[in-house]
Amino acid sequence: MTTNKAISRPEPDNPYALIGSSPLMKQVYRLISKVLHSDANILLTGETGTGKELVARAIHEYGHRRTQPFVVQNCASLPDGLLESELFGYKKGAFTGADRHHQGMFDAANNGILFLDEIGDLPLTLQAKLLRVLQEQEVRPLGDTQYHKINVRVIAATHRNLEAMVALGEFRSDLYYRLAHFPIELPALRDRGDDIQKLAVSFLDESARREGRTGLHLSAAAEKALQSYDFPGNVRELKSMIERAILLADDTEIIERSHFPNIPETNTFSVGSASPHGGVLKELVDRFERQLLIDSLKKYRGNQQNTADALGVARRTLLYKLSKYNINSRDWRG
């Protein structure tokens, strides 16, 4: 993070270094501008790959806590006991193996921001503890007898439907209301119109620079195909697709339609119209499978073997599926 960037005025078209100027993104920028200088907790929702973590980082970089820590904790990646000691810390001797004092994430984020990713995966016992911390702004490390004050702004994120989880009794309603004090929903890429084109060009430039290539551009047919694709993996998927297309187009400057082999020929999805896939079993199953793969990769920090083991498939099956869904396991290596 550079302080320069943090104090410069956001560009009107590309505020907070986020790309996109569709009406839905402009609404997101308006919401960000309202919370930037407050201490309200924020709940970021939206499908996988829509930019929740990027927005959380932007709120830190451009907000009044920018010189203070930004700490990330993924609530899905640790077993319950470990997550508790990561969040709240522990005293030496608190349990077998606690041979030294360990600072928790809330203390590490003091005066700054704690980004709680995958908050929908927080177990109910820890939900109660988190609620108390948010209400009282104080924590008690495991093995400690005393609570101590902290000053932490929490930004939580999830791709799950927390309201539905509340209705099912899987998520505490009191915690939900406290976190959802200021909700920001990140739109799906397929609903962002021309942003697809803007993001594609930006990723193309970025990858071309990295690969030392010049003059790369998209053919009209390639642009049209991107515009018509429904991007279940959203911006992350678009980025992976562009990176792969550049590798495939190693003997030409023009990125063609054929360099996006995962876009089905029959894909006639168009922004603004109802999805032609709605209710089609294969589409729903694919979406579910994609989300499961992403959740597992996140949990095992991009480790393919552990992910394959957890899903009970051979590594080559996992690789095949990652390629089918344009998922890059490197995106989750911490």
Ligand X SMILES: Nc1ncnc2c1ncn2[C@@H]1O[C@H](COP(=O)(O)OP(=O)(O)OP(=O)(O)O)[C@@H](O)[C@H]1O
How many residues bind Mg ion (CB under 5 A)? The answer is: 1
- Report d(CA 14, CA 230) in Å as an integer: 23
Least Å distance between CB 251 and Mg ion? 36
Residues 42-61 that bind Mg ion (CB under 5 A): 53
Residues 247-286 that bind ligand X (CB under 6 A): none
How many residues bind ligand X (CB under 6 A)? The answer is: 16
- Report d(CA 60, CA 54) in Å as an integer: 10
Q: Is 120 near ligand X (CB under 6 A)?
A: no
**Residue number with CB closer to ligand X (294 or 318):** 294
Q: Is 328 near ligand X (CB under 6 A)?
A: no
**Residue number with CB closer to Mg ion (186 or 263):** 186
The three-class DSSP label of residue 148 is strand
- Report d(CA 98, CA 250) in Å as an integer: 53
Closest CA to 48 of 333, 328, 294: 294
Q: Which does 235 bind (CB under 5 to 8 A by kind): ligand X, Mg ion, none?
A: ligand X
Q: Is 295 near Mg ion (CB under 5 A)?
A: no
Q: Is 293 near ligand X (CB under 6 A)?
A: no
- Report d(CA 80, CA 83) in Å as an integer: 5
The β-bridge relationship of strands 138-139 and 148-149 is antiparallel
User: Which residues neighbour 231 within 8 Å (Cβ) at sequence distance 6 or greater?
Assistant: 188, 189, 190, 196, 237, 238
Q: Is 239 near ligand X (CB under 6 A)?
A: yes
Least Å distance between CB 57 and Mg ion? 10
H or E stretch at 70: strand 70-74
The residue from 6, 10, 19, 319 that contacts ligand X (CB under 6 A) is 19
Which residues bind to ligand X, rule: CB under 6 A? Answer: 18-20, 46, 48-54, 159, 235-236, 239, 294
